[in-house]
Structure 1
Amino acid sequence: MKVSLNTVGAWVIAGTALLWSGCGSTHAPPADPGKPAPEEHAEHAHPEEGPHGGDLIELGKEEYHAEMTHDDETHIVTIYLLDSAAKASVPVEAKELVVNLTLEGKGVQFKLPALPQESDPEGKSSRFQLADEALCEGICGEKATGRLNVVIADRSYAGTIEHGEHKHR
């Protein structure tokens, strides 16, 4: 059997065309160059303050938020646990929240006991409060840094507290 180069070439071209026609594109169509690329966080608004007028602390990848308020006169610091939208209360079984601050180069730990709100179910709290002058002044310090630690739904969360995140009342 004699096969010419033309026959082999025809088979190669036909096979290649068949392979290409069967392969669908898995790539997304190119973005419209006239439109900016969507931002990852553009799908939701970031509230500036919580429902109690306090400053928000992000917990996880915005899975939850904590809202911190403080009163300079009474030295009461209150932390509310909120949902991802920073609107609804999130009651937890914790009896206290822990705030670790660095004050004058030294680590200091504060434990805020649970103070359930009326809407919290029995045995749970979404509000934690402590009257402590060192804590209140510490979160207002020029170089205040700290972390809030809490367990929500059997998972530990930590949020960063930095100077400038809060308002004075």
Structure 2
Amino acid sequence: MRIVSDKMPKVDVASILTAEEIAAIHEFMHHYPHPRAASLDALKIVQKRNGWVDDAQVNAIANILNVPMTDMDGVATFFNRIYRQPVGRHVILICDSVACYLTGYEALAAELKAQLGIDYGQTTADKRFTLLPICCLGNCDKGPAVLINEDTYGPVQPEEVAQLLELYA
């Protein structure tokens, strides 16, 4: 269990984030009337480098935006597309909404798990894929649907899984 405090320890931000990340965060801060409004943008900027955001990076962002660490951690853990632990090079999100469930989600999920050899929340041994459920992809008319990185697919049939995975070598 992580314990997060409201006390924001001052950190050497430059030793945690790159100069480019710091500059990009400052640029986003100027787009909003309050720096804290740039929280999600800042997390996305930092996540882009290595695929996830660790506690030190969240603290560094909190320092830049001058917001309490608990607030920044709240944003980082609320959004399901901000990853707080390492993920594979390609993140597969499979929609488990009612619409996708009714159009074949269970068979598609079983095939993805079988092909990848992992369950939800796990990453393949070669660090190529992480498989996660998501409550809705907004692609209800094309269920069952998956999102791989930023690419949406649907409807996806179980027999198409191997060919789909090959696109992400």
User: How does the TM-score come out when normalised to structure 2?
Assistant: 0.24
Which protein has the larger Cα radius of gyration, Structure 1 or Structure 2?
1
Pick the structure with more strand per residue. Answer: 1
Pick the structure with more helix per residue. Answer: 2
